[in-house]
Structure 1
Amino acid sequence: MAGTEESGSGWPVAGPLLLGVRHHGPGSARAVRAALDAARPRVVLIEGPPEADVLIPLAADEDMRPPVALLAHAVDEPGRSAFWPLAEFSPEWVAIRWALEHDVPARFIDLPATHSLAWGRDGDDVGADPGSVGGGGDGGDDVTGDDEAVAGDGEAVVGADVRVDPLGVLAEAAGYDDPERWWEDVVEHRGVGAGDAFVPFVVLEEAMGALREEYGSGGQDRDLVREAYMRLQLRVAQREFGDGVAVVCGAWHVPALRRKTAVTADRALLKGLPKVKADMTWVPWTYRRLSRHSGYGAGIESPGWYGHLFGVPDRPVERWLTKVAGLLRGEDRLVSSAHVIEAVRLAETLAAMRGRPLPGLSETTDAVRAVMCEGSDVPLTLVHDRLVVGDVLGEVPQSAPAVPLQRDLDRTQRRLRLKPEALERELELDLRKDTDAERGRLLHRLRLLGVGWGEPVASRGSTGTFRETWRLRWEPELSVRVAEAGVWGTTVLGAATAKAEADAVSAQGLADVTALAERCLLAELPQALPVVMQVLADRAALDADVGHLAQALPALVRSLRYGDVRGTDTGALTEVAAGLAERIFVGLPPACAALDADAAQDMRRHVDAVHGAVGLLGEAVVADRRAGSGAAVSGERGRGEAAGAVHGVPGDGGGGVVPAGPHGDLRERWCGVLRVLCGRDTVPGVVRGRAVRLLLDEGELEQEEAARFMGLALSPGTPPGDAAAWIEGFVGGGSGGGMLLVHDERLLGLVDAWLTGVPADAFTDVLPLLRRTFSAYEPGVRRTLGELVRRGPGQRGSGAAAGGGIPGFGADLDGERADAVLPVVRLLLGLDGETAPGDDNDLVGVA
């Protein structure tokens, strides 16, 4: 190529040393370090936003550990952001570290973030939107520049329908069908000798020059603007440092930077660019976010493998397979040193057969599958996830700039010993402990702010409200969410409070407000609760849809339980929930009339939810009134007794008075609503059956009465579809209906008799309902039911119906055996020594 004679600066081309690289490439990173060691430039220019120049010295901090990323965000619109990720094997990171170690100035020369963040706000962006998380900025595995100027797979765009992959073109010219394999053979597996430090860059520049002559800028006008700005910055550096200038940039840009253009022409391209005020900082990054599979458009498929190649200069294959063996041993797989030796031999043999200079990732993966995984891809998936991709999370020093909210979050994380980690893990919290309670509040507050660091999951082995289980995983884009949430306040508590108040005012439905009230209690936001409760009361008074009210009530009632463990005052919430229940009681029976099948199923779920909520709500109302009564009596006992006399409620035996109030009989009134639903023909069968079952479980309906309702529902005059729906409501799903049929063979006989009498032409129609009903039973329950049906009616008559008994069960309660377990029950319930004499029968009923 022209100008390859030796220059006065020690490199083989005239003018500045242009080091065209592939971002996040360990081979490029090693080559850059060798070229800088050989050339010893006086200044290093790096493709990146100039606003980050002041952040470069932080790269030398002992607490800075890559992978990290430069984060730029618009001050007035934090959600508009862009990342420039850097790993230890990124050529840009190597150039920064080399400059700091040799006391050489380092500067970023790409288009400023103040322009790139503004580009696209008014629809004038020709590339990807830099405001999207993970978009924008430098990086990617492509040699074509940043991911804003290329397609997500690294292909330069030429025209509307033509895409050209530069690596693909070069690989095809070299006789390769895989661009990744070609790049590994030519660059990543190539050693850098003492006398050829500049050869890779000269060859790559020549190849990119030919591609740019053929395809121009790839149809991306934005590339032309960026390259114009980089040329201007290069001229400034040349005037200051002469020929001692080295540039590290995407190889696609090298021909454009080498080309001679007029200064006025470059400035004309930059005239009138949009602009926003931007802030920049360093944030931790992860290997997983460098991977294409995580959604980062210009990522690399194997950051863990690349990090290994960069960090292990000698015998990389042997060391890699040893690492794989260690991982598999940790998962209790039998992998010995002989497996490692055989896998190394197989990988080298495969590389020789495929004409490769060294075994690459494909050869080592094939060797691991064949030797260590016995041909199975299941353990290989673990190797890919843990090693090939990896879960490395970078660290950033505390001295890095950050929004006040981020500072407060960092302090709280350190105080609670809750360190962000890239690897997903579960965290069990016991809310009776102060530290765990604070951890739970922090995670709930962050979720309310949209920072999804933790996701609540079901606790294993406990259903108590004092226990919470979280699945934690820190993703780099959460730093953007924190910056975005900074508009609500400077502390996590203040920002969550302000966000909750704003969300309450803007909530669209009643269920949204009730869910927000629950989240406020979980996050312990006492200052936000008055606003949320006022909005809740206003919305509840205006909403007449029973379905909406039924959806809202369970969340409110769940919130009432949190007062015990978290010490939160839920008195106002109790009154709102009780009023909501009253309105449901009145509106539910009319709302259940004339429903289609889907609406009937929804209404059945509402009935279940309200039933569970009423049970808790009744207890909360009594407890709340008892507490209020006790407070009143402690000050004016006589007035409290008078109030109790007015309500006709006797003293509670503890010196206090429990007024009945307007909500004191919620459970009884709810049972009355269920009785109304049981007997109305206009109510769908699934709802009627569910109402009968709930009354039976509550002891409000005798078994004979339940059998009468079932007999009516399964009578010959009832259409088979309606009868099947009634059965589904009564014994369907995971409601324990199977055990009810096992222990009450009279009900089983009614179901069996109806089922055998269904006409053949109607059986096909009811079969899906029946299958949905009985398929939810446990295998043991289904097996027992089958055995009972096989015996036939003459062998399985129940005690009430046929005078016989169920095998293994007596006709009545065995008092002596029940008394034997009472001490253990008291111990489990924490009542040991507290149960008064004569209360054993009550305890048996509870048990």
Structure 2
Amino acid sequence: MRLGIFSRPERKTAPAAGERLVVIGVRHHSPACARLVRQAIARHRPAFVLIEGPADFNPHLADLRLDHQLPLAIFSYHASRHRSFASYSPFCAYSPEWEALQAAWEVGATPLFCDLPAWHPDFGERANRYADPHGRRAAVAEAAVAGALGEDGRDAVWDALAEQAPADELERRLDRYFDLLRPEGGEDPQELSRERFMAAHAAWALKEAQNRKVVLVCGGWHAEAIRRLAREADGERPAVPAPTGDERAGSYLVPYDYRRLDRFTGYASGMPSPAYYEQVFARGLDAAADWAENAIAQAMRAAGQVVSTADRVAWHTHAQALAMARGHRTRLRSDLLDAALATLVKDGLDQPAAWSRDGAVRAGTHPALVAMLKALTGERRGRLAPGTRRPPLITDIEIRLAEAGLTPDHRARQIELDWNVAADRERAHTLNALRLLGMPGLERLEGPLAPRTAAPRETFRLVLHRDAEGTLIEASRWGGTLPMAAAALLSDRAAQAGGDLKILSLCLADALFAGLLVLENDLTAQLAQGIALSHDMGAIGAAGRLAVQLHRFGEIFGIAARQALGELCEAVFDKVLQTAESIHNDEEGLRAIPAFAACRDMLRDCPDLDIERDAFLATLGRCLANAETAPAVAGAALGTLVACGEGGAYDVAGRMHRFSRPDQLGDFLSGLFALAREEIAADTAVIDAVRALIDGWHDDAFLTALPALRQAFAFFPPRERERLSRVILRAHGASEAQAEIQALEWMRQPAHVTDQAAALALEAIVARRLADAGLV
């Protein structure tokens, strides 16, 4: 296949036939490129094989010679006080870089990674080091190639151009293709430092190799630039950048899997459908096509779609016809998927097929297409060989778990911990720190934040998980010991949070339960500052409720921590005291309810706090008296007074009449019930007053008030709502038995309240029209 679009004059700087540097530009994770690399190394038998990969991993290349189960990746990290970054360099059986390593060892060459460390700033924030640039010019060039070949999408172009190419044409095609994406002499300032570094390695290797050849394998985007820059290099071996000062960096092997390797899950480089291309590499395109048909049919049947023998015949025939029409020498991946779409999917699509465009599968993609792509992704997972070098964090965690009697096993077990017991507290510190690192197989079943003053209890589920080792290796970016790693992760999370009180509050709770005392002062100071500057009463309330819950646990976190929590509670109390009277917006009033609840708990349960009780109670009284106060704030103020034993001077039912409008009552009751639910539930006069108000409304008024009323009564637990329902039914003349049966039915209604309101509104419209027509 010789196409005009690939015709161009020969390079002015074309390498001489005997030139010793052989640069092979590849597409990462391409079976065709993997075969090309192995054949070139076997033919040239070079002294060195240089591979685009993190040069700081070269001292540990022996790790890659162990008997691993692919796929795997080199995980590289870099951490400082202001930045924590991680990157991956994945390998599978058909990665050109992996084949370069194996072929180098087979011919006795010295393999070396020749690129900058993956954490180097010149990579930017690139989480995958093989994600080569792909700017506008490359996209235009690819579109032109697609038009010339009659293909739809970048991957279809690649299969037609490279994967089905005859072996003697592949290298020429790749040179022309990559030259179209980045013409000779096309500079890429963002990549220049990497290319100079790789070229310097090439020049050094040529000098060391004397008369022998050097093969360099890199992404095709870089190939021509490296050839040119290698001629300009001085032949000195470039120094590998290393961390300085308090910076930490490292590289370790981690297990990988095909889902993470697949472009359709968001992987920024390489090929899609890893399981399919594994078959292409191992057995060829024809066998891979047969395998893909079986895999897709099984996946679609498992998803509940019937794929009959007739469907399979039609699909196979359609794929062959597409391949012939497109000039393919056999059924390629795009032929198989397009034919499956035409013969097996009966519904219309809301968007183009995922394989015809770049990027991950988008939300709303047809389930059948998702099933097809998932079948071609496969479920292969990597496993590291015994003896693989591991970071210190793994050893530290294993020792801590063994000493605490918490070493995971294949059989899950439940661990119940009582913070009153010192030994249990130490075990809880360990498990909570591991939970922060996201260790698979560890789950907290019962949290510690129940609204009580007694020391908390925690329940964990622990089981040995196959992904635990890889996850903890990746967590080593945060530190070499469990406390260090958990503390660094939380510090980073808090720094990223800025003034977000919710995140900062959760960070503080996590630090306390993980025993990370070093973070408490920093986090409480950051929270206190955020509370002072915030105008979001909802966020202030959430932070306050969490702080008072933690403070009520006493000194289980230590005396210093309890004092810091107390100061945080006082900051919340002062903020609410300052702003309570200025809340006049209804929505903001509803959001402020948790802030009043936090202050109520401080008044009732925290006598050691330095708070202005009398001033706060006086403020609540003024909120009640002010006609401009938001209904929810007025209800919360009254509820706080009642809950704190100060409600005797207030007529609760009488106050309610000030907020008796349908658009106000629900919000007022939300504040009241949220702050004094238990006291109000025992006061039938209040419920009778609510019932009397509602009985006086017409249907439209009731429908207006219904959602807010439902929200207000949601503060009562189901058992109390059922009891209140019986009270209301009996007041309407139902017998005890009838009230009990009807109350149970009300509590079990399957329809949502908004649907019920809409149904009632529709019934009202129908009734009016019938009345207007004289039919009722």
Q: TM-score range by the shorter chain?
A: 0.5 to 0.7
- Residues paired across the two proteins, number: 680
Q: What code does the residue aligned with 1:178 have?
A: G
Q: Distance in 1 between matches of 2:401 and 2:271?
A: 31
Q: Which residue of 186, 211, 227 corresponds with 1:218?
A: 186
Are residues 1:201 and 2:171 paired? yes
Partner Cα distance (1:373, 1:412) in 2: 54
> Which residue number corresponds to residue 605 of structure 1?
594
Contact 1:501 1:531 in 2 (8 A): no
Matches within 5 A, 1:79-158: 79=84, 82-110=87-115, 112-113=116-117, 117=120, 119=122, 130-134=123-127, 137=129, 139-140=130-131, 147=132, 150=133, 154-155=134-135
Hey, what's the Cα distance between the residues in 2 that align with 1:208 and 1:509? 46
Instruction: Choose the corresponding residue for 2:155, options 168, 175, 180.
Output: 180
Which of 207, 227, 233 aligns to 1:266? It is 233
Distance 2:494 2:190 in 1: 42
- Alignment of 1:360 with 2:332, yes or no, is yes
Distance (whole Å) between structure 1 residues aligned to residue 18 and residue 409 of structure 2: 49
Residue 546 (structure 2) aligns with: 555
Instruction: Give the 3 Å change call, closer, same or farther, for CA 302–202 of structure 1 in structure 2.
Output: same
Aligned identity (percent) is 22
Greater displacement, 476-485 / 266-275:
266-275
State the distance in 1 between where 2:98 and 2:409 align: 25
Q: Distance in 1 between matches of 2:424 and 2:160?
A: 52
Deviations 1:562-601 (A, max 9, x none): 79xxx94577766776787788789867743242214322
1:533–1:573 Cα change, 3 Å: farther
Please tell me the residue identity of whatever aligns with 1:25: S
Where 1:246 maps in the other structure, the secondary structure is: strand
Distance 1:499 1:294, change over 3 A: closer
| Distance change >3 Å, CA 179–CA 521, structure 1 → 2 | closer
Pick the aligned partner of 2:738 from 808, 817, 829: 808
d(CA) in 1 for partners of 2:159 and 2:531?
A: 68
Instruction: Quote the residue 2:693 is aligned against.
Output: 750
Q: 1:433 to 1:311 in 2, by over 3 A?
A: farther
1:27 is displaced (CA, Å) by 2.0
Matches within 5 A, 1:258-657: 265-267=232-234, 280-284=250-254, 285-292=256-263, 296-313=267-284, 315-328=287-300, 343-368=315-340, 375=347, 378-380=366-368, 382-383=370-371, 386-389=374-377, 392-396=380-384, 403-405=391-393, 407-409=395-397, 430-432=415-417, 441-442=429-430, 444-445=432-433, 451=437, 466-467=458-459, 482-486=475-479, 490-496=480-486, 515-525=506-516, 527-528=517-518, 550-559=541-550, 568=556, 591-597=579-585, 598-610=587-599, 613=601, 618=605
Structure 1 residues 769-811: Cα deviation after superposition (integer angstroms, max 9, x where no partner): 7545548989xx9xxx9xx99xxxxxx98656x7765772389
Relative to structure 1, is the Cα distance of residues 163 and 336 closer, same or farther in structure 2, using a 3 angstrom cutoff?
closer
1:770-789 to 2 correspondences below 5 Å: 771-774=707-710
- Match of 2:581, SS state, is coil
The amino acid of 1:117's aligned partner reads H
1:171·1:177 contact (CA, 8 Å) conserved in 2? Answer: yes
Q: Deviations over 1:465-513 (max 9, x none)?
A: 5346899997999789745422xxx311245458879999999799887
Counterpart amino acid of residue 171 in structure 2:
F
- CA distance in 2 between counterparts of 1:330 and 1:413 reads 40
1:422-476 CA-to-partner distances (Å, cap 9, x unmatched) read xxxxx9965449999999755642576xx55679999699998534689999799
Instruction: Confirm whether residue 20 of structure 1 aligns to residue 20 of structure 2.
Output: no
Query: Are the structure 2 counterparts of residues 39 and 167 from structure 1 closer, same or farther at C-alpha, using a change threshold of 3 Å?
Result: farther
Q: Which secondary structure state, in structure 1, belongs to the residue aligned with residue 251 of structure 2? A: strand
Partners of 1:513 and 1:541 lie apart in 2 by: 11
C-alpha separation between the residues in 1 aligned to 2:618 and 2:466?
48
Answer yes or no: is the 8 Å Cα contact 2:30–2:94 preserved in 1.
Answer: yes
Deviations 1:378-400 (A, max 9, x none): 53354267444456554445755
8 Å contact kept, 1:347–1:366: yes
Structure-2 change in CA distance of 1:317 and 1:173 (3 Å): closer
Listed as ranges, the gaps of 5+ residues in structure 1 are 120-129, 141-146, 421-426, 622-660, 790-795, 812-847
Which residue identity does 1:201 align to in structure 2? E
Q: Name the SS of the counterpart of 1:592 in structure 2.
A: helix
- TM-score normalised by length of structure 1: 0.62
Distance change >3 Å, CA 400–CA 538, structure 1 → 2: same
CA radius of gyration, larger in: 1
SS of corresponding position for 1:186: helix
How far apart are residue 186 of structure 1 and its match?
2.5
State the alpha-carbon separation in 1 of the partners of residues 559 and 80 from structure 2.
41
Matched, 1:688 2:677: no
Distance (whole Å) between structure 1 residues aligned to residue 310 and residue 614 of structure 2? 74
Q: Is the partner of 1:316 in helix, strand or coil?
A: helix
Q: Secondary structure at the match of 1:65?
A: coil
**Alignment partner of 1:45: what SS?**
strand
Q: Which residue of 1 aligns with 2:668?
A: 726
Q: Which consecutive unaligned segments of at least 5 residues does structure 2 have?
A: 1-8, 349-364, 451-456, 742-776
Call closer, same or farther: CA 1:466–1:183 in 2, change over 3 Å: same
Query: Take 1:588 and 1:228, find their aligned partners in 2: how far apart are those partners?
Result: 60
Instruction: Report the Cα distance in structure 1 between the residues aligned to 2:206 and 2:536, rounded to whole angstroms.
Output: 75
Q: Report deviation, 1:268.
A: 11
Assess, with a 3 A threshold, how the Cα gap between structure 1 residues 810 and 280 changes in structure 2: closer, same or farther. closer
Partner Cα distance (2:280, 2:735) in 1:
75
- Structure 2 distance, partners of 1:457, 1:504, is 23
Deviations 1:591-617, CA, capped at 9 Å, x for gaps: 432422143223223234555x569x8
Distance 1:349 1:468, change over 3 A: farther
Shift of 1:96: 0.5
**Equivalent in 46, 52, 59 of residue 54 of structure 1:** 59
In 2: Cα distance, 1:238 partner to 1:397 partner: 34
C-alpha displacement of 1:201: 1.1
CA displacement, residues 715-750 of structure 1 (integer Å, 9 cap, x when unaligned): xxxx775556435545799x9999999x95763341
Letter in 1 for 2:220: A
Q: Deviations over 1:668-692 (max 9, x none)?
A: 9999998886666564322233456
For residues 785-800 of structure 1, what are the structure 2 equivalents within 5 Å?
Answer: none
User: Aligned letter for 1:132?
Assistant: E
Closer, same or farther: CA 512–748 of 1 in aligned 2, 3 Å: same
| C-alpha separation in 1, matches of 2:643 and 2:598 | 15
RMSD: 6.2
Q: Deviations over 1:277-335 (max 9, x none)?
A: 69552332444444456555435443444334334546212222333444455556666
Instruction: State the SS of the aligned residue for 1:747.
Output: helix
Structure 1 window deviating more from structure 2 (506-515 vs 314-323): it is 506-515
In the other structure, the counterpart of 2:216 is: 247
Q: Conserved in 1, the CA contact under 8 Å of 2:311 and 2:344?
A: yes
1:29 Cα deviation (Å)?
1.3
Q: Which amino acid aligns with 1:181?
A: A
